[in-house]
Structure 1
C-alpha cells in the first residue's frame, strides 16, 4: 500500500523547447542547478515554471554544487579552476568570481551560514571526507566533524540550519550505511535522526526557512522524500518515487515546495512538488544530465528549538569534534507501542524504515529497529 500517495499527484508538464542561453542575472526565485547540456558541467538558473533558462558559468573547468547565499545576491560553488576542486563565490549574474578555499584537497558541497558570513563545505584533506567552516573572505578553515583512523566516514552534502546553530549532513560513520546526522555547533553534540537497513541510503538534507529538515531515502527500486519538523518532532513522508533515486533536493524560499533531481536508467530529471497539495511540476532537463539543485529557503527570523529532546548519550569517536552522539528521543518499550488501527496505511512494506516513527507520546524510535511503519493521517505507528 505504500504506492497510495502518488496516485493523488497532479502532473504539470513543461514544454521542452530547446533553450537559447544568455548570461543574465539570476533572480531571487530562480532555481540553480548543474547541467552538461553543452558538454561541460556548468551552473544554470531557471524559473520555477521552467522558463527563462540562463547559463551562469563559462569556464573550461567543471563548476558544480551551486548554493544560494541567504540574501540571494551571491552563489557559492565548487570548481576545478585551480586544478583541484575548491570553493568559489560569484555574484548572482556569474561575475566577480573569487576563490575562497586553498590547499584543502578535494572540496565540495558548500552551504552558507544564515548571516552569509561563513561557508561550510566537505574536504578530504585529512584523508576522509569531513565538514569544515571558513569565512566567505577566506582564512583558516575550522574542522567540524572528525573521523578516527579506524573508523573513517563518508560525509556528504552538509546543510546549515536557518537558526545558525546546526549542520545536517549525510554520513555512514564508517558503517557503509548512509544516515542523516545533525551536529549542534554550540555544544558539539551529534544527533542521528534516521537509521536504515543496509539497502537504504539517506541523502541530500535540506532545511526549510521554518526549521523543517527534508531529505531523501534511496532504496532498491524506489526513493522516498521525507521531512522532520523539529517544532513538534513530526516525521512526514512527502512522496514515493518508483524506479528512481534522488540525487539532490532543496526547499523553496517560502518553504512550501521542494525541488528535486532524480536518476533512473541513466536519465536525470528535475521536478517540483508542492508539499501541501502534492502537485508536481516537471522541469525541463533538455536531454542532459542535471544535478546539484539549489533553490534556497530564506533564513529563519526567530531561532528554532536547539534542544531536540535529549535521549540517551554515548561516546563518539567520529562525531563533531569528538562530541557525544545523542539519539533524538528514547523510544517506549516494545510492549507499549500501539498497534496500527484499521484503515492505517503501511508505508514501508516491511522493509524496516524504522528509526523516526512517531509514537503516541511524541517520542521517536531511534535505538530499536522498526520493521513496519504505518500512518492513519493523524499518527505514525511502529509495528
Structure 2
C-alpha cells in the first residue's frame, strides 16, 4: 500500500500533537492540599490539577490547617485544634487513617517533615516555654531536641536529614541559629544575631533566614556554609517572608517593598533577584513543586484568597480555585 506524502505529514503532525498534549498534561498532573475557611469552619481539601476535582479530606468541627505533604507524597500532616490545644495529625494521601501524632503537650506551633519522611520536627509552646521535639511517624516515639528554658523556634532540615536548624531566643548572650544532629549530641552555632526561619537549600550550600534589625524589620539573609559568612540580600525597611527553596536551590520569598505583598525569586549563584508577580493585591504563600518548574501561590485577586500557579519565570499564571470562601494555606 502506497501512502501519500501528505498523509504521512498529517500522521506525523497528529502524533506530535498527542505527544505535546500528553507532556503538557503530565507536567501539571499534581495534587494540591489546602485548607479553606468555609462557613466559619476551616477544613482540609485536595485538588488535582489534571481535572480540578476537589476532595474534602477532613470533616470535624475543629480547625484543621497547615497541610503539608511528606516528601515521598504518601502522607499528609496538618495542625488541628479540636479542643483547647493545637495538635499534630497525620493521614493518608486520600484522607484515610487519620490519627494524632502529638497532642496534650501544649500548642504545636510549627512542624517540618524530614527528607526521608519517617520523622517530623515540631515546635511546641506550653504557654511558658517553647521547645523543639522530634516524633517518629511509625511508632510515635518523641525525643526532645532542645530544653524548654532555651525558648527555641524551628528551622529546616539539612538535605541529607543529618541536621536540624533552629533558633535560640532564650540565650540573651548568644542568640542565633544552631544546627543539631537529632540522632546524636553535636550542636553547632551557625549564626549570631536575632535570627529565625532558617531554611537549608537542597544543594546544601546555603541557609536562608530572617534577621531582626534595629529598625524592627526582618531582613532576608543568606549564609554561605562553605565560607561561613552571612550576607544581607534585602537590606531594606521591609519584612521578607515565606522563604522556600526550589529543587535547583532558587529561593522564593515575599516582600512589601513595592507597596503590597509580591513574590520574588533570588538566585544565589549569580546574586540575581527577579520579581514574579506585579499587581495591586496581596500575593503570598509561594510553594515550589517537586520539579522546580512551577510555583503555587495565594492571591487576593478578587477580594478573597484563591490559589494560582505560574511558571518559575513568573509567566503563564493560571487560576486554580474560584471560590467565595478564603483559602488559608496550601502545599503540593
The TM tier, using the shorter chain, reads 0.5 to 0.7
C-alpha separation in 2, matches of 1:137 and 1:285: 46
Correspondence for 1:204: 197
C-alpha separation in 2, matches of 1:194 and 1:243: 21
2:231 aligned with 1:237: yes
C-alpha separation in 2, matches of 1:71 and 1:267: 35
- How far the C-alpha of 1:227 sits from its partner, in A, is 2.4
Alignment gaps of 5+ in structure 1:
1-24, 299-383
Correspondence for 1:27: 30
Q: 1:80-159 counterparts in 2 under 5 A? A: 80-91=81-92, 97-125=98-126, 127-137=128-138, 139-147=140-148, 152-159=149-156
Alignment gaps of 5+ in structure 2:
1-27, 292-332
- How far the C-alpha of 1:118 sits from its partner, in A, is 0.9
C-alpha separation in 1, matches of 2:217 and 2:128: 33
**8 Å Cα contact 1:269/1:285 also seen in 2:** no
Q: State the structure with more CA Rg.
A: 2
SS in 2 for 1:210: coil
Change (3 A) 1:195 1:71: same
Matched pairs, number: 256
Change (3 A) 1:175 1:241: same
C-alpha separation in 1, matches of 2:175 and 2:34: 23
C-alpha separation in 1, matches of 2:118 and 2:287: 18
- How far the C-alpha of 1:176 sits from its partner, in A, is 8.8
SS in 1 for 2:104: coil
**8 Å Cα contact 1:74/1:91 also seen in 2:** yes
Task: Considering Cα pairs closer than 8 Å and 6+ residues apart, tell me whether 1 or 2 has the greater RCO.
Answer: 1
C-alpha separation in 2, matches of 1:106 and 1:130: 11
Change (3 A) 1:43 1:248: farther
- How far the C-alpha of 1:111 sits from its partner, in A, is 1.0
Q: 1:227-306 counterparts in 2 under 5 A? A: 227-230=222-225, 232-235=226-229, 237=231, 239-240=233-234, 242-255=236-249, 257-262=250-255, 269-275=262-268, 276=270, 277-282=272-277, 287=282, 295=288
Specify which structure has the higher proportion of strand.
2
Aligned-pair Cα RMSD in Å: 4.3
Q: Deviations over 1:125-174 (max 9, x none)?
A: 59521111111135231111114xxxx23211231212121110122134
C-alpha separation in 2, matches of 1:267 and 1:41: 26
Correspondence for 2:182: 185
